Structure 1
Amino acid sequence: MASTNLTSIVPWGAWVAFYIYFVGLSAGAFLVSTLANVFEIGMMHRIDRDALFVAIISMAVALLFVWIDLGRMDRMYFPFFWRQLTSALSWEVHAYVAYIGILVTELYFSMRVDLARLATRFGGARGVLYRLLALGRVDTSEASKAFDQRWLKRAGIVGIPLAIFMVHGGTGVLFAVSKARPYWNSGLFPVIFIISALLSGTALVMIIYVLRTRLFDGEAVDPDLLDQLAKLLMGFIIIDAALTAIEALIAFASLHPHEVETWLVVLFGEMSWSFWWFMVGAAGCSPWSCSATDPGVEPRQ
């Protein structure tokens, strides 16, 4: 318990911190994928599968940390049998299940045609595996592609409010309703969670895209795509910083002892290293690092 900073005063330690971080990565990466699948921004189609795959893996890792934090892992099914309608955590558990269903559905429809091609190309166990992954749908006609695209978009439309209001916004609510924690107990806190998710998810998708393109595809990255993602990232950084500054100003202007004392600890006390080096410092690293001046990026014509 000590190694994860759990005490009688600190009920949530490192496992919950990691859980929050990975839920944010998942929600942010999913919302980035909707730029291609829902809003149909052309060049974003190059990273939609990366984003969906990252979203699924990040969510699985997040829930693994929750599973460990429970202590009694055999009780993980309790929220489904004994529901508490007034509990934000109870609602959150059900939202996670629905969200994972949306992610798997979108990834299936985005990959189904390629899986069908592989199923017809290979025989034996490999072909059977691809056929199973395609759920037996091996039709690659234009009509089947259009069907997949329609359902991909529909799943994305359903997933957007789910990711914003229930998955990571809802995770922020878990903290915001804690009246005993002045730093968390704020109406802006869930909004900051959503923006932070978009920020971290966009950054992760950029990294995955660059690594996949260079290490596996053997191609140069698309500078226009990276520039567009970098602009999004910069915008999210500015909004996140502005909301955090507003939170701090409200706390100091209130002159409430608990509010002021908490922010002094965060800014200048024992937690200042985390705030300045990681939250501010890491976010302040230029999102323009993957620009056209990068030797691995093709110069513009």
Structure 2
Amino acid sequence: MKELSGHIRENIAGSNRIFYVYCFILLVIAVVGLSQAVKSLAFGHGHSTMSDMVPWGMYISGLAFFIGCSAGATMVGLLIHGFGREDYHPVGTRAILLALLSIFGAMNCVMMDVGNPFRAMKIPFLLRNETSMFFISSSSYMGFMTILGAELFMTIKITRGKASSRDKLLAKLLAIVAVPYALVVVHSFTGTIFGVVKAREMWNTPLLPIHFVTSALASGFALVILVTVITSWIHNKELVSMDTFNHMGFLLLFFLIATVFIDVFDYIILSYSATEEGMETWHLLTGRYLVTFLINMGGLFSALTIVAFKKGRTPRGLLYATSITLLAIVAYRINIISVGQLVPLYPELGELEYIPNIHEVAPFIGLVALLMFIYAVLTKVLPLEDKVHASHT
């Protein structure tokens, strides 16, 4: 413990002024933004643009996006421990942190969305309905955070050279188990929450959980690649080799192909279904939500095209491809949540609208800033593989 405390003090003392300014700006944004969430806690969602007909807003879009990032980021641990890709080892702890912070962000999106977050915290301990998808999902989130927390703890012990053979075996098992748990238990059931709603044409499809899984792999792995590229440039060193970047690009290409395949045929079936709800959904996607629809599909095809070529699997190419991928999947999460609710359940409702206002946007921006702040601090104070390796060479 003394050694770890000394490591933390040494890293904090060695930080430059830019780091402190960066953290201060993030902290200010987080405090200002999340202060709006406190107002919502005090006065409810009456000041938001959500309604009885459109009860789920941008917080649920954020939930779906963050859950996806957390699930996809676990792929790095599987590559290291399941497939023996030791070249990914320098980004192992960072990937776990990204997954852990993403699931933390997802749970906070839920807390900001519900009317009484303190009541929601009773699930599943006091309030239980074992047949409810909400119960299954909320329980799986807590289980996933436990797995990631244990994996992070064991990985840090290994990095510090304090791990026994049993600790190393446990870290390996946790890394391997995390991926199927994240994709099958966590993210598939998140997609199922929407898929079982019979009244919503855009949601009620057995393909939705599968699509949530493929887009999770694409977004989570893209986030890890993006952070790896940016970290390498900031610290002016190779975090991973060019061959590893090339391999990352190939994997991202595979995940993008799977996502685009399901997206394209989902939209084809939706547009050709000739059902009243399906045609109205397609009208919304190609009308009021045309911008996000084009960002989603155009972004996925653009990112796929970039990583399909060898030059696109370099750090610079991957910077563009991953940024576009994340933006495209954010657009998809907005579409699937918002458009899915804007089709009137009966004609007398008329045309429905949902445009988030500052009272919804500000807390979300504050949450993102808080997650970035926590990540910056943790990567500064924790013993990461690349920093420990550099100190020994």
TM range, smaller chain: 0.7 to 0.9
Distance 1:14 1:2 in 2: 15
| TM superposition shift of 1:282 | 3.0
CA contact (8 A) 2:228 2:239 kept: no
Alignment match, 1:100: 145
Unaligned runs of 5+ residues in structure 1 are 118-138, 297-301
Alignment match, 1:170: 189
CA RMSD of aligned residues (A): 2.2
Q: SS of the residue aligned with 2:123?
A: helix
Q: SS of the residue aligned with 1:169?
A: helix
| TM superposition shift of 1:178 | 1.2
Q: SS of the residue aligned with 2:143?
A: helix
Distance 1:238 1:38 in 2: 23
Q: Which fold has the larger relative contact order, with Cα–Cα distance below 8 Å and residues 6 or more apart in sequence? A: 2
Residues 265-280 of structure 1: pairs in structure 2 closer than 5 A: 265-266=284-285, 268-277=286-295, 279-280=296-297
Alignment match, 2:90: 46
Q: SS of the residue aligned with 1:65?
A: helix
TM-score under structure 1 normalisation? 0.82
Residue 91 (structure 1) aligned to one of 136, 144, 147: 136
Output the amino acid matched with 2:143. A
Unaligned runs of 5+ residues in structure 2 are 1-44, 320-393
Output the amino acid matched with 2:135. S
CA contact (8 A) 2:137 2:189 kept: yes
Distance 2:239 2:195 in 1: 44
Distance 1:280 1:41 in 2: 32
Distance 1:176 1:13 in 2: 17
Alignment match, 1:291: 314
CA contact (8 A) 1:4 1:14 kept: no
CA contact (8 A) 2:232 2:239 kept: yes
| TM superposition shift of 1:293 | 7.5
Distance 1:173 1:105 in 2: 27
Output the amino acid matched with 1:57. L
String of CA shifts for 1:264-294, please: whole Å, max 9, x gaps: 321x1111111112x1233323345451777
Residues 1-301 of structure 1: pairs in structure 2 closer than 5 A: 1=45, 5-80=49-124, 81-115=126-160, 139=162, 144=164, 146-216=165-235, 218-219=237-238, 221-266=240-285, 268-277=286-295, 279-283=296-300, 284-285=302-303, 286-287=306-307, 289=312, 291=314
Aligned length: 267
| TM superposition shift of 1:4 | 5.4
TM-score under structure 2 normalisation? 0.63
| TM superposition shift of 1:44 | 2.2
CA contact (8 A) 1:49 1:107 kept: yes
